[in-house]
Amino acid sequence: MDPFEARLQFIKTLQRLNASNEANENALQFLLQNTDLMEDLYSCTLEELDKSSLNVKLNIFYFLEMIVCGCSARQATQFQHWIARDLDTIIDKVVPETQVGLVNLSPSRSIVASILSKGKAPVDGKVQERAMIILKSRTDLLEAPLPTVTVGQSSSRMTREHSLQSDSVRTSPVVENADDSFTGDDKRTTSSPKPIIPGHNLSRNEILRRMDEDRERSKRLKEDIWAEDYQFGPFSEFNRDWDSTGPLNDLDYEQMNEDNEIFMESISTTSVHAI
């Protein structure tokens, strides 16, 4: 395939990624079928992380996790090493330092933990450290408290700051305590305007799509928890439960007797109704 055509097709494939396994498998198959263009396709992936919406960024990150943790094809080895090498850069792109970008923080933590624990390509210690620093900085931004100021003393300064920030930053002063709003000096205690770092707000359709995809991923996660690996035989689940079950004690026998009594009562009641 022509390199330019491959780039265009792979970009469309990345933009169509969603929570389904089928979409991820299609993207992976395209990648494995064009191993000679893999480096070019990897650069496409990083470019899409720069300019895509938050939902697409997260879908691409899940796709990269699948490559690193779930793909055993020999052709994907180099791609896995590139992801491990640039993990900190990828996190910085997926979780931008904006208030809206923080919606990708929680799932990104899970993806990073999965890559570090299950990844087929080792992550360098320095890269891992930088990745943790980025996640911590985003967490600090999410948990940052609102500072308080006294309006009577700082109103003029706040007015100047508000006029400077109004073109690029939205502010939202909030009264912390309505009962203490006025003091003997006619001063009010309010929280200072918390600047919201510029970022693209999610549209209604993007929010609904994100909810559906999160719901689908949650279902798949539960399926993975319940899934049993039968490579050790058809009775692996029974053997695991048998090995993890302790010996019977007096409470077990008492519970069995109660269950038997309930069962016998149900039989007698059914027989009376039958007569």
Q: What is the pLDDT of residue 123?
A: 92
pLDDT at 263 over 80: yes
More confident residue, 115 or 153: 115
| Range among 8-17, 226-235, 240-249 with highest mean pLDDT value | 8-17
Q: Are residues 96 and 185 in the same domain?
A: no
Q: What is the pLDDT of residue 71?
A: 87
Q: Are residues 126 and 156 in the same domain?
A: no
More confident residue, 152 or 87: 87
pLDDT at 129 over 90: yes
How many domains is the chain partitioned into structurally? 3
Q: What is the pLDDT of residue 148?
A: 52
Q: Are residues 231 and 183 in the same domain?
A: no
Q: Are residues 120 and 136 in the same domain?
A: yes
Q: Are residues 76 and 177 in the same domain?
A: no
Q: Are residues 159 and 54 in the same domain?
A: no
pLDDT at 196 over 80: no
Whether this model's pTM surpasses 0.85: no
Q: What is the mean pLDDT of the chain?
A: 79
CA–CA separation, 150 and 238 (whole Å): 67
Q: Are residues 78 and 19 in the same domain?
A: yes
Q: Are residues 42 and 160 in the same domain?
A: no
Q: What is the pLDDT of residue 145?
A: 66
Q: What is the pLDDT of residue 270?
A: 65
CA–CA separation, 62 and 257 (whole Å): 51
Q: What is the pLDDT of residue 85?
A: 94
Q: What is the pLDDT of residue 146?
A: 52
Q: Are residues 139 and 158 in the same domain?
A: no
Domain assignment of residue 116, given as a range: 3-143
Q: What is the pLDDT of residue 273?
A: 59
Q: What is the pLDDT of residue 223?
A: 73
Least confident of 27-36, 125-134, 179-188: 179-188
Query: Does 26 fall in a domain?
Result: yes
Q: Are residues 152 and 72 in the same domain?
A: no
| Range among 43-57, 223-237, 240-254 with highest mean pLDDT value | 43-57
Going from the C-alpha of 22 to that of each of 17, 58, 68, 119, 217, the distances in angstroms are 9, 16, 17, 21, 13
Going from the C-alpha of 170 to that of each of 7, 165, 166, 173, 247, the distances in angstroms are 38, 7, 6, 10, 64
pLDDT at 244 over 50: yes
Q: How confident is the model at residue 79 (pLDDT cuts 50, 70, 90)?
A: very high
Query: Does 12 fall in a domain?
Result: yes
pLDDT at 126 over 90: yes
Instruction: Render pLDDT for 26-73 as a digit per residue (tens, 0 to 9).
Output: 999 999 999 999 999 999 999 999 999 999 999 999 999 999 998 888
Q: What is the pLDDT of residue 158?
A: 45
